C-alpha cells in the first residue's frame, strides 16, 4: 500500500469522498470506480444522463507559427483541413508503429494553436516525447494538465442538462467532435461535444474551481455521478479502445483496427513507414470482437484458442455486456483467425467456451451528427 | 460496515457455512458481496465431490470474477438454481443466498473455520 502515499487527487476528490464513492488507484490518481453501482450508472448514461470526473486527463497546448506542421508530424490523423472548433482523434506513434498514446486534437480559435488531450497515465511520457520531437519546428509546448479540470456529461439527455442547468445555450448548434469557447466564473470554459461512451455527450474543460462549481450544480440538479467502472463498460460496448489494453507500445493502430485514423496519404508523420509496411505485408495479429455462446465472462488475459485447443490469442477486455446481455470481449488473435464468423474458444478458468468473431462495435452508437 | 451473522462459520476467503445436521449450506459473506459489487453470474460447474479448499466455481461481477472455495469436504447435494436466474440475490441477501449444499464427510473441518467475532475482526 506504500504506492498510495504518492497518489494524485483531481480537483473533485473531496466531492467523491462526500458522495461515498468506492475509490481506487487509476493512472496514478485516486479515482472513483463507482458511486451507486456500475449497472445503475451504465444504464443512466445509455438511457438518460450521467457525469464523470475526467480531470485526470492531460491537456497539452501547442502554439506557434509551425503548430500545424508540428502536430501533423507527431500525429497519425490529418489536421491540415481541420477548421477552428474542430476535433480529431488519432495516435502518436513510435517509429516502429507502436503507440505512444491515443488522443484528441482540438483546433483552437484565434491564433490557431492546438489542444492535445491525452491519457492521464501517459501525460508525462507524452510531453517528453513531444518535446523530443519538436526540434526544427517553431512551436511552443505547454503541459497545462494541472490547471484544468474536466467533467464528461454523457447520455441522450446531456444536451438538455447543459442548457437547463448550466445555461450553455450554444450546445444546441454544436455538432459531434466540435467545441466552442465559453466563460465560467470569469475563466475559459471549453464546451466539447465528445465522449467515450457511445452516446451523445459533452466534455467540459475549465479551471479546477470552475469544475467543482459545475459538478456541484449538476449534482444539485440530480445528474447521476458515474465512476470509471461504467466508463469502461460503456466504451467497451461502443467498440472504443483503451490505451494499455487495446493499444500500447507493442500494439499498433493497424493491429487494433484503427487504420481509418492514420492518414497514410500525408507527406510524413512519425511511424508512417512502419504503418505502410504493416498495411502492405499485413500484421501477425489483429484485434477482434468475440461473442461467447454461454454466460461465462471473458476477462483480460484469458487465452483464446481454436476449437482444437491451440492457443491463438488473448483477451484484452471483456464483460457480460450490461446493455446487450451477451458475453463479449476484445481479443488480439493471430490474423489467420480474425475473419468475421471464425469459430474460436475462450478459456475461462478451467473450461473452454465456444465463441465466434464478430464486429468490435457491439453497441450501435448514438452520436449527434 | 458489512454485516456478520452469529452462528455461522466463516472462511478466510469469505465463504460462510450454515450447518443443518451433517449438511453444510455454503454462501459468501456480506463483506465479499460488497467488495465484488453487482453480481451478474454464478458459475458453478457440475461437481460430485469436494475436498476442503477446492475451487467449486466463481462469482462474476461486472468488473471481476471471484473464485469460490469449499470450506468443507463432502458430496455436493445441490446447487441453488434460483441464483442462476437471479444472481443479484447474493447482493440483496448474502446470508439468505446459499450457493451449494454439501453432505459433510468430516464435520471436524468446521473447527478450522472462524466464528462471527473472529471473522468480523479479520475484515477490520
How is residue A247 annotated by DSSP?
Answer: B
Judged by CB atoms closer than 8 Å, whether chains meet at A37 and B40 is answered as no
- B40 to chain A, any CB pair closer than 8 A? The answer is yes
Maximum Cα–Cα distance for chain B, whole Å? 37
Whether residues A37 and B63 touch (CB distance < 8 A) is answered with no
Q: Do A299 and B65 touch (CB under 8 A)?
A: yes
d(CA A358, CA A362) in angstroms, rounded, equals 8
**Percentage of chain A lying above the pLDDT 90 cut:** 95
Given a cut of 60, whether residue A362 has pLDDT beyond it is yes
Closest among A288, A184, A166, A276 to A239, alpha carbons compared: A288
pLDDT of residue A97: 98
Partners of residue B41 in chain A, C-beta under 8 Å = 295-297, 320
Q: Are A137 and A75 in contact (CB under 8 A)?
A: no
Inter-chain CB proximity B67 and A37 less than 8 Å = no
Please state whether B101 falls in left (phi above 0), alpha (psi between -120 and 50) or beta: beta
Residues of chain B positioned with their CB less than 8 A from the CB of A245: none
Residues 51 to 110 of B: which have CB under 8 A from any A CB?
A: 55, 58, 60, 62-65, 67
CB-CB neighbors (< 8 A) of B60 in chain A: 296-297, 320
A294 CA to chain B: closest CA distance, Å?
A: 11
SS3 B19: strand
What pLDDT score does A278 carry?
Answer: 98
Check A351 against B45: CB less than 8 A apart. Answer: yes
Give the mean pLDDT of A165-182.
98
Choose among A328, A325, A321: nearest CA to A300.
A328
Sort out which chain B residues have CB atoms less than 8 A from A321's CB and list them: none
Q: How many beta-carbon pairs under 8 angstroms link A with B?
A: 41
Q: What is the pTM of this model?
A: 0.92
pLDDT at position A1 is 45
Task: Report the DSSP pairing between strands B49-50 and B74-79.
Answer: antiparallel
Nearest to A297 among B37, B38, B65 (CB): B65
Q: Tell me: pLDDT of A280 over 60.
A: yes
Question: Which residues of chain B lie closer than 8 angstroms to A43, CB-CB?
Answer: none
What is the rounded average pLDDT of the residues A81-102? 98
| Position A12 pLDDT exceeds 60 | yes
The C-alpha of B103 sits at a distance from chain A's nearest C-alpha, in angstroms, of: 25
ipTM above 0.85, yes or no: no
CB neighbour list of residue A264: distance below 8 Å, 6 or more residues apart: A272, A275, A276, A279
Please tell me which of the candidates B38, B64, B65 has its beta carbon nearest to residue A39: B38
The model's pLDDT over B88-98, given as tens digits with 9 standing for 90+, comes to 999 999 999 99
The pLDDT of residue A5 is 59
B36-87 tens-digit pLDDT? 999 988 988 888 999 999 999 999 999 888 999 999 999 999 999 999 889 9
When pLDDT is averaged across residues A88-109 and rounded to a whole number, the result is 98
Candidates A22, A39, A296; nearest CB to B62: A39
CB contact under 8 A, B41 and A38: no
Q: Do A297 and B41 count as a contact with CB atoms less than 8 A apart? A: yes
Residues from chain B that touch A351, judged by Cβ atoms under 8 A, are 45
Segment A228-245, tens digit of pLDDT: 999 999 999 999 999 999
Closest chain B residue to A323, measured at CA: B62
Q: Helix A228-237 crosses helix A38-47 at what angle (to 10 degrees)?
A: 50
- As a whole number of angstroms, the longest Cα–Cα distance in chain A is 65
Residue of B nearest to A231 (CA): B63
Q: Nearest residue of A to residue B67 by CA position?
A: A349
Please state, in angstroms and rounded to a whole number, the distance separating the CA atoms of residues B24 and B19.
5
Cα distances (angstroms) measured from residue B19 to each of A155, A194, B22, B110? 49, 55, 7, 9
Q: Evaluate if residue A2 carries a pLDDT over 60.
A: no
Confidence at A303, pLDDT banded by 50, 70, 90: very high
Amino acid at each position: 500500500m506504500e504506492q498510495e502515499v504518492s497518489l494524485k487527487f483531481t480537483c473533485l476528490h473531496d466531492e467523491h469522498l462526500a458522495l461515498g464513492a468506492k475509490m481506487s488507484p487509476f493512472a496514478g490518481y485516486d479515482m472513483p470506480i463507482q458511486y451507486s453501482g456500475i449497472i445503475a450508472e451504465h444504464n443512466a448514461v445509455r438511457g438518460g444522463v450521467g457525469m464523470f470526473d475526467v480531470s485526470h486527463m492531460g491537456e497539452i497546448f501547442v502554439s506557434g507559427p509551425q503548430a500545424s506542421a508540428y502536430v501533423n508530424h507527431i500525429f497519425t490523423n490529418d489536421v491540415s483541413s481541420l477548421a477552428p472548433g474542430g476535433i480529431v482523434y488519432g495516435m502518436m506513434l513510435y517509429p516502429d508503429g507502436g503507440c505512444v498514446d491515443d488522443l484528441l486534437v482540438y483546433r483552437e480559435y484565434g491564433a490557431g494553436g492546438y489542444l492535445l488531450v491525452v491519457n492521464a497515465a501517459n501525460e508525462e511520457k507524452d510531453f517528453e516525447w513531444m518535446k523530443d520531437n519538436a526540434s526544427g519546428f517553431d512551436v511552443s509546448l505547454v503541459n497545462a494538465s494541472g490547471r484544468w479540470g474536466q467533467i464528461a456529461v454523457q447520455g441522450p439527455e446531456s444536451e438538455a442538462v447543459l442548457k437547463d442547468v448550466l445555461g450553455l445555450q450554444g450546445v444546441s448548434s454544436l455538432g459531434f467532435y466540435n467545441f466552442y469557447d465559453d466563460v465560467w466564473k470569469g475563466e475559459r470554459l471549453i464546451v466539447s461535444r465528445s465522449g467515450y461512451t457511445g452516446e451523445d455527450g459533452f466534455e467540459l474543460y475549465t479551471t479546477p474551481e470552475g469544475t467543482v462549481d459545475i459538478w456541484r450544480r449538476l449534482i444539485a440538479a440530480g445528474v447521476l455521478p458515474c465512476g470509471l467502472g461504467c466508463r469502461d463498460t460503456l466504451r467497451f460496448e461502443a467498440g472504443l479502445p483503451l490505451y494499455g489494453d487495446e493499444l500500447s507500445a507493442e500494439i499498433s493502430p493497424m493491429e487494433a483496427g484503427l487504420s481509418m485514423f492514420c492518414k497514410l496519404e500525408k507527406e510524413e508523420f512519425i511511424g508512417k513507414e512502419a504503418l505502410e509496411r504493416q498495411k502492405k505485408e499485413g500484421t501477425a495479429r489483429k484485434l477482434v470482437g468475440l461473442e461467447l455462446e454461454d454466460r461465462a465472462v471473458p476477462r483480460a488475459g484469458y487465452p483464446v484458442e481454436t476449437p482444437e485447443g491451440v492457443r491463438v490469442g488473448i483477451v484484452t477486455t471483456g464483460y457480460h455486456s450490461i446493455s446487450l446481455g451477451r458475453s463479449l470481449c476484445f481479443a488480439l488473435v493471430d490474423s489467420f483467425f480474425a475473419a468475421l464468423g471464425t469459430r474460436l474458444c475462450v478459456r475461462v478458468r478451467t473450461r473452454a467456451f465456444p465463441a465466434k468473431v464478430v464486429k468490435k462495435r457491439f453497441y450501435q452508437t448514438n452520436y449527434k451528427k | 460496515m458489512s454485516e456478520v451473522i452469529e452462528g455461522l462459520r466463516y472462511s478466510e476467503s469469505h465463504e460462510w457455512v450454515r450447518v443443518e445436521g451433517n449438511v453444510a449450506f455454503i454462501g459468501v459473506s456480506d463483506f465479499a458481496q460488497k467488495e465484488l459489487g453487482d453480481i451478474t453470474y454464478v458459475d458453478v460447474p457440475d461437481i460430485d465431490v469436494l475436498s476442503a479448499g477446492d475451487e467449486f466455481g466463481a462469482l462474476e461481477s461486472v468488473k471481476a470474477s471471484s473464485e469460490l472455495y469449499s470450506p468443507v469436504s463432502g458430496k455436493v447435494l445441490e446447487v441453488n438454481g434460483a441464483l442462476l436466474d437471479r444472481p443479484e440475490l447474493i447482493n440483496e441477501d448474502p446470508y439468505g443466498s446459499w450457493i451449494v449444499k454439501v453432505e459433510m464427510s468430516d464435520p471436524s473441518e468446521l473447527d478450522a473455520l472462524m466464528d462471527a467475532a473472529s471473522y468480523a475482526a479479520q475484515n477490520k
